[in-house]
A and B are shown apart, each in its own frame.
Chain A
Amino acid sequence: MSKQNKKIFLILAGGTCILNDHGRILAVQSEADINDWLAQMPELNILANIEPIFVSGEDDLLEPAIWQKIVEKISEKDSEADGFVVVSKIDQLVNISLALSFALQNFKKTIVTTASQVSGTSFIDKKEVLSGLKNKYGGLSLRANLINAIQIAQQPLPAPAIIFGTRLIPATRAVADLANDINVFSSIDNNYWGKVDFGINVKSGLNYNKQASKIYTNKLANILIIEDIPGLPWFFDKKVLSAYHGIFIKINPYQTLEKSKQDQIIKWKLPVFLYNYHLTSPVKGAINLSNCTKNTAIIKAMWALGEDFKEKSLENIMTQNIIGEFLN
């Protein structure tokens, strides 16, 4: 009964806001803040042997380079860890979880991501939001999310997942749920890996891949992301386009892309990804993506362009179901 606690690495990259006893925001801005921050949640160290790793501060810009740093830290600590909990900003949580999913394929240790309801340490601009959350929910959700995340990180999961509120969602299925206050993310196909009902209930019979882990550490490629509106022309400066490795365009499902736009795609001589969740009509020179979330398609494109797949074409990689990203 009295077993040694499992070792969980707590990776901090923003999204660390909690309210202290006086109702003030407490967040991790630098490594020096970690002890005070953890002292507000003493129960975490009872749940597991927690080892925090600082990656970026609450007010730092969270960019793909930081996601890459998280991947490096996780692969570095793989042999010592029983699991990983990544805390990051709520608005980037899906992207980070997806970046981890593509970079750390068939990873044998559980990776769970979570966040606070708000991000950033400035109090004034968030005063109303904070008091609303405090009155309605008694906090910023991070404490409960972390308690759940640390418990889930000690159980096997097939791939990185998000725990927020009462839902455990695979990264490839996660979308923002604006209608729900406690569960700000939902699964696009209403399929969850677990829920917090009467304790944490991780679904049985999840599909575990027994293949060896593959870790990809190349930098994610820069891609230009645009949303097409039929009838509105595209104007891009050549210089602007040269800064990108590819172009991602969200198109409409039931209208063919105008001829002028199709010609532009050929002229760009850059990898172009056309995305719509439902369906996309084929366009010469572009790779069509559907039946997956928009964030999944974007992060997969960034990952695929960043890696050097000599043996396979980009189109092959993009249309292959690599981490179960395409919905059945």
Chain B
Amino acid sequence: MTITTLGLQNFTLLLAGLINLTMSILVFSRGVKHNKINLYFSLLTFFNFLWAFALLLANIFSNNALAEISYRTSYLAAVGIAVSLFYFSLYFPYKIKNLKLYNNVLVLIFSAIILVFIYSKWHIIFFERGLNLSNWLIDYYKPFYVVYSLFFLSLVISAICFLVSRLYNLESWLKRRIKILLITIIVGLVFGVYFDLILCYFGNFNYIWFGPIFTAFMNIYVFYLIFHNKEK
């Protein structure tokens, strides 16, 4: 059996998508009514799945228009990731802030506006795929791309700050959990941002398939937290 580069790319995206989808269902099934941690982590992993899956479809669709919609959807998924991570960080492992109503409305309105623009010519002006990723030709409207990136980064950096702020005055076993989860989230974000936001800005699409797999670390650690205890 020959493993082609395209095969490896698609397999990696599929694997990343499946890991996140499984975790999303698993955490959601633990109950979200009284548990905001489960709710937002389940959303976070669902959007991770959508990100990976949208990139996979953009890679495999033969129809260029469908591929373009899928590719744009991966940017929608990234907004979902940032918003879910932001709210998750407010609740994990306990609520740190009572956001005012206007804060919530602001985040949601801004997200909604960006989501609308994602599917317009304000985001991608030209989309044409080649035989492999190095031949992709995507022309972004750069001012919107910068606004999008700033919005995304402001949410994820806030989320990291919220998580870091909990590392003081807590018992060490709880601190250790936050620290490890924080590291796994940062790993996913750093590689995701680099391969799928920064490189794309400069027209390099060779590694867009590589970003989603880094979310696996976060999933593995949460899986460990949930299942390492044998108590009924």
Contact = CB atoms under 8 A, between A and B. Distances in A.
B100 A201 contact: no
Interface residues of A, number: 34
A5 B98 contact: yes
Contacts of B175: 138
A230 B141 CA distance: 89
Given A137-B172, A138-B170, A143-B170, A198 B225 contact: yes
Interface residues of B, number: 34
B215 to A, nearest CB: 16
A141 interface: yes
A151 B94 CA distance: 8
Contact of A2 (B27, B30, B99, B226): B99
A150 B170 CA distance: 16
Q: Which of B35, B170, B174, B226 has the most CB of A within 10 A?
A: B174
Nearest to A155: B34
Contacts of A147: 93-94
A182 B173 contact: yes
Secondary structure class of chain B's binding surface, majority of residues: loop
B229 interface: yes
A300 interface: no
Contact of A138 (B94, B100, B172): B172
A43 B165 CA distance: 11
B35 A139 contact: no
Interface in B159-176: 169-175
A1 B229 contact: no
A216 interface: no
A202 B35 CA distance: 9
Contacts of A328: none
B171 A167 contact: no
A166 B98 contact: no
B67 to A, nearest CB: 36
A2 B225 contact: no
Contacts of B232: 190-192
B175 to A, nearest CB: 7
A1 B101 contact: yes
A204 interface: yes
Contacts of B142: none
Contacts of A198: 27, 37-38, 41, 222, 225-226
Q: Which of B37, B96, B98, B101 has the most CB of A within 10 A?
A: B98
A43 to B, nearest CB: 7
A199 B173 contact: no
Given A143-B169, A202-B34, A195 B231 contact: yes
Contacts of B95: 43, 46-47, 151
Contacts of A167: 231
B102 to A, nearest CB: 9
Q: Which of A141, A144, A198, A200 has the most CB of B within 10 A?
A: A198
A288 interface: no
A199 B92 contact: yes
Interface in B1-47: 27, 30-31, 34-35, 37-38, 41
A63 interface: no
A136 B171 CA distance: 9
A2 B98 contact: yes
B104 A197 contact: no
A201 B225 CA distance: 11
B35 A201 contact: yes
Interface of B: 27, 30-31, 34-35, 37-38, 41, 91-101, 104, 169-175, 222, 225-226, 228-229, 231-232
15 contacts: A2-B98, A138-B170, A138-B171, A141-B171, A144-B170, A144-B171, A187-B231, A197-B226, A197-B228, A198-B27, A198-B41, A199-B35, A199-B93, A201-B35, A202-B31
Given A151-B94, A167-B231, A199-B37, 12 more contacts: A5-B98, A46-B95, A137-B172, A138-B175, A141-B171, A143-B169, A144-B174, A166-B229, A182-B173, A197-B228, A198-B226, A200-B37
